[in-house]
Amino acid sequence: MWATALGLVAAVGYTAANIGLRSVSDCDPVWVSAVKAVPTLIGVIPVLWWQMRRRHPVWPSRTVLSRLIWASLLGNFLGNVALQWSLGVIGIALAVPLVLGTIIVSGTVMGRWLLGEPVTRRTLIAVLLLTAAVCVLSLGAESAHRSVVGSASSPDAWWETALGVAAAMLAGTAYAILGVVIRYGVQRRTSVSVTLFVVSLVGFVSLGAAAVWRSGPELVVQFSRQDYTVILLAGFFNAVAFLALTRAFQMAHMVYINAVNGSQAAMAAVAGVLIFREAPTPALWAGLAMTILGLGLLDRRA
């Protein structure tokens, strides 16, 4: 019951965060992703300090820590930055279901291969359906791209659309890797606060340094106060969702938690169409229906 509730909290939190990130999708994606990590970092430091005074947090071994750092780099650069860029190319209604489908397909394979978690026949059917859903969703990418950029097709539009789809799927794969490593760490009793601290610190330092190195210090003042407010709010909701998801990984198998968290696909599609006026193509609705059906078929006992 608690794992399900936390998975739903994560879904709502990530949806709210993605709505905020979609509204600043015209800004530098690397710096946006760096600033987004600030609320998590600010929130977890006092908790970690208090737990250290009580000798409560369980720090990971050197092996677990090194894997968590590498997975955090992947999750931030190939996950957060790639997703942020794709939001400005194909929109939230298409990018989020693509990310979720890729997370579950990749996470199921890696969970079975690396963690030894069971994959039943029912789960295998669901994964195949989710793979087909990703293909169907991709068919509506061109219309989604036109509705997001708000201009007529150009000779380079096809390539940009294809890159937007690839970026969303790359983000899903990176998030799946991060999820596997987090699950690996919490299984070895690494505390949630330490996990959040490492992931957010690695994200802020590495992404912030990369953004300033690439665009110069003036990048910091190019963002308006409203932009920073939206990004920090998105970061707050992302922190709540990440905390809920990490805690849920301690309670249930990764496939099940990803399935519950996958309910954000429908939320993102509705937000994209109603809030951002993204194209409600037949491919979007068909792919979304297949995604929801695939999530429903995942074996909850696995």
pLDDT digits (tens, 9 = 90+) for 90-116: 899 889 888 988 888 887 788 777 767
Helices (H), 140-281: 141-149, 157-187, 192-215, 219-222, 225-249, 254-261, 264-274
Unique residue bearing structure tokens 């169907």: 136
Residue 138 domain flag: yes
Band the pLDDT of 57: cuts 50, 70, 90.
low
Whether the per-residue pLDDT at 157 is higher than 80: the answer is no
Mean pLDDT for the chain overall: 85
Least confident of 25-34, 38-47, 156-165, 256-265: 256-265
Instruction: Measure the CA–CA gap between 208 and 218, rounded to whole angstroms.
Output: 13
Residue 302 domain flag: no
Predicted pLDDT of residue 97:
86
Residue 12 domain flag: yes
Residue 197 domain flag: yes
Token representation of residue 247:
């805690």
* pLDDT tens profile 215-273: 898 998 889 999 999 999 999 999 999 888 878 877 777 667 767 777 788 888 888 88
Instruction: Collapse the DSSP code of 27 into the 3-class scheme (helix H, G, I; strand E, B; otherwise coil) and give the result.
Output: coil
Predicted pLDDT of residue 150:
66
Residue 28 domain flag: yes
Whether the per-residue pLDDT at 144 is higher than 70: the answer is yes
Mean pLDDT on 274-287 = 85
**Choice between 166 and 285, residue whose per-residue pLDDT is larger:** 166
Predicted pLDDT of residue 113:
73
Band the pLDDT of 299: cuts 50, 70, 90.
low
Whether the per-residue pLDDT at 129 is higher than 60: the answer is yes
Instruction: Measure the CA–CA gap between 26 and 178, rounded to whole angstroms.
Output: 26
- DSSP run (H or E) holding 150: none
> What is the tally of structural domains in the chain?
1
- 208 neighbors 217 (Cβ within 8 angstroms): no
Unique residue bearing structure tokens 């007529």: 152
Predicted pLDDT of residue 268:
87
Closest CA to 270 of 36, 26, 12, 31: 12
Closest CA to 40 of 13, 19, 60, 59: 13
* Contacts (Cβ under 8 Å, ≥6 apart) of 37: 76, 200, 201, 203, 204, 207, 235
Whether the per-residue pLDDT at 53 is higher than 90: the answer is no
Percentage above 70 pLDDT, the chain: 92
The boundaries of the domain holding residue 48 are 2-297
Predicted pLDDT of residue 87:
93
| Max mean pLDDT range (70-74, 94-98, 147-151) | 70-74
* pLDDT tens profile 202-227: 999 999 999 999 989 899 888 999 99
Residue 102 domain flag: yes
In whole angstroms, how far apart are CA 55 and each of 49, 58, 114, 214, 236? 10, 8, 31, 41, 27
- DSSP run (H or E) holding 85: helix 82-90
Max CA pair span of the chain:
61
Predicted pLDDT of residue 18:
94
Residue 276 domain flag: yes
Mean pLDDT on 8-20 = 92
